[in-house]
Amino acid sequence: MSYIRSAAFADSGYVVLDTYNQAADPEEWLDLTFVDWKSSGDTRFAPIASAFGQMECNGFWNHTPPRADKDGVWVQGNVERAPILKARAEEPGANVGRCRVIELQPNDYETAVYNLHQDDNNRLNPDGTGWIVRGFFNLSDNPDSVLILREDRFDPSTEVRIPLPAGSRLIVDTQRFWHAVWHTGPEPRFSLITSWTSGPELDEYIEKYNGKPQESNPPLDQKVIDDTQTEVNRRLAERAAVLSAKGKAKAQTDDED
Ligand SMILES: [Fe+2]
């Protein structure tokens, strides 16, 4: 047995869909209730679907009974204020797990590279069922900000940088990629993040909106990339030494961007 995966992801691990006309919609995300939740970077989250419909963001596996990131329950207080966002999460027709709006404060490239992480979307996901991936719909207009993806956390040559203008739609296997957002600011960035189960419905949605990998990265000076990697390596080694001295294992987080 093995998981059901999208053929569109087989090589690239992510797809960029046609841009959505975000400017035609009201800014529903500004009316949502946000809660504090540990993540990479300076963030808040507004839950749209959670394990039991409560105003909280915990992984479904941390609830009783623990379960996979599927069958999310709509959070009434927030979906009443954001019916379009709910409809957009439902549009593919794929099973929805966690769904939330993230608010991310501006950061810099070094911080983003330091924050690179893999998600744990498929914890408790039964073998033979659909692999869980994540949709990222940018709500605010951040054309100079990028989602950074890396196959190898420490190898910048594997880096993909996907710009995040309003209406950009990405679907990413965030358990495969190390990822984080470099948000240049100056205002916070808002994005709708949805856990979807791979299968024919998601495949159709990807096809309908011409999902494919981007052709090239926005430019970034190679010296900046190299110097940043050197500094991040130093910081990570320093943190590992501190944790080791305290006798702690490396912190495991469930981050989102
Ligand atoms: Fe993440």
pLDDT tens figures, 113-146: 999 999 999 999 999 999 999 999 999 999 999 9
* Long-range residue pairs from 183-188, CB within 8 A, at least 24 positions apart, any chain: 183/41, 183/104, 183/105, 183/106, 183/107, 183/112, 183/142, 183/145, 184/106, 184/142, 184/144, 184/145, 185/105, 185/106, 186/106, 187/106, 187/140, 188/103, 188/104, 188/105, 188/106, 188/140
pLDDT at residue 257, as a whole number: 54
pLDDT at residue 244, as a whole number: 87
Ligand 1 mean position, distance from CA 171 (Å): 12
Residues within 5 Å of ion ligand 1, judged at the Cβ atom: 119, 255-256
CATH topology of domain 7-245: Jelly Rolls (2.60.120)
Ligand 1 mean position, distance from CA 177 (Å): 9
Ligand 1 mean position, distance from CA 255 (Å): 4
Ligand 1 mean position, distance from CA 117 (Å): 6
pLDDT at residue 252, as a whole number: 46
pLDDT along the chain (257 residues), means of 10: 87 96 98 84 92 94 93 98 98 98 96 95 94 98 98 96 98 96 96 97 97 96 97 93 79 51
pLDDT at residue 245, as a whole number: 87
Residue-range domain boundaries for the chain: 7-245
pLDDT tens figures, 61-99: 999 999 999 999 999 999 999 999 999 999 999 999 999
